[in-house]
A and B are shown apart, each in its own frame.
Chain A
Amino acid sequence: AQSVTQLDSQVPVFEEAPVELRCNYSSSVSVYLFWYVQYPNQGLQLLLKYLSGSTLVKGINGFEAEFNKSQTSFHLRKPSVHISDTAEYFCAVSPNNNDMRFGAGTRLTVKP
């Protein structure tokens, strides 16, 4: 079975500051890794995914994440955040997409 741990439930940052949202996973098999963003009362939007190949993955809205197999991590980063980035962020893992498991979520709040 797979599990996901998002190490921070809330991350407050000031506008234009860099941010890192941390995600660790455990799995006995190779997995695909995902980051999703959820705005209030909306569904999930895919930010980026790691399937294979380069460990640095670039996504939408200026986000990127790095897959670290030895540390079983997939941290999400953005060099300069905007007010509009305020949302809930979910890390997810899946061995084959038919069994996707989500972390508890990290609430990113960008302050002016």
Chain B
Amino acid sequence: GAVVSQHPSWVICKSGTSVKIECRSLDFQATTMFWYRQFPKQSLMLMATSNEGSKATYEQGVEKDKFLINHASLTLSTLTVTSAHPEDSSFYICSASGRRAYEQYFGPGTRLTVT
């Protein structure tokens, strides 16, 4: 149980375009979802936390107008990178927590490359 999926697993887009990444909890209801960014050979940096039906809470330094997060249901959160630039290229990982707040379940990640 407690499976989190992400789609797509990798995406290449041109500079200036937008790309949407989906994060789904497949077998549980995720009251909170988290979005992380990971640069090569580095740790995970929390970008934002979202609760179902509420606006996301962004970490300091993360542009909320560039990284749009929608948590429309208890099983789906989306991250949209708007007007992507090469520096947005990274590995994006989502996680979700349910009733047991002390556990986060991680998705497999999405590799974004902006050319």
Contacts and interface: CB of A to CB of B under 8 A. Distances in A.
Contacts of A102: 43-44
B43 A42 contact: no
Contact residues of B: prevailing secondary structure: strand
Contacts of B108: 42-43
B102 A94 contact: yes
A90 interface: yes
Interface string B68-89: 0000000000000000000000
15 contacts: A41-B91, A42-B109, A43-B4, A43-B107, A44-B106, A49-B103, A94-B102, A97-B97, A97-B101, A98-B97, A100-B34, A100-B46, A102-B43, A104-B43, A107-B41
Interface of A: 32, 36, 41-46, 49, 51, 90, 94, 96-98, 100-105, 107
CB-CB nearest 8 A-B residue pairs: A43-B106, A44-B106, A43-B108, A102-B43, A97-B102, A97-B101, A104-B43, A43-B109
